[in-house]
Amino acid sequence: MAEAIAKAFPEIQCTVFDLPHIVEDLQGTENLAFVGGDMFQSIPPAEAVLLKWLLHDWGDEDCLKILRRCKEAISSKNKGGKVTIIEMIIDTQKQDKESIEAQLCFDMCLMSQLGFAKERTLKEWRKLFLEAVFTH
């Protein structure tokens, strides 16, 4: 995803932040860098942080740690700092039967494989963001 963003917007500096052994052999470009580290310790400073399909791998307590590190990393709101999350939202009220079954099946797979991971409802996501001191 970062590669697509970097290609589409060459004026933006993109950084992929992952575990050191994941990014150690990856080559960047003029506007795409790969940085190794531990998101539970710190996240490199940025104007925006994008988390795609990451938080559902963690329980609420760890999600709060990650979100708080993201908040520390971004510029102030006045400078446009943003955290964007791409995750599934479980919604059993507005979906067709097949979509609900797929969402719940994915949730069961996460819980059975990782034990603490889960998909969340909009209410559960909102609670996490507010606890991490995000305003909206």
Catalytically active residues are 56
How buried is residue 65: exposed, middle or buried, by Cβ count under 10 Å (0-12/13-18/19+)?
A: middle
C-alpha to C-alpha distance for 123 and 90, rounded to whole angstroms: 10
Tokens of 25: 């052999």
C-alpha to C-alpha distance for 18 and 2, rounded to whole angstroms: 12
Are the CB atoms for 65 and 40 separated by under 8 Å?
Answer: yes
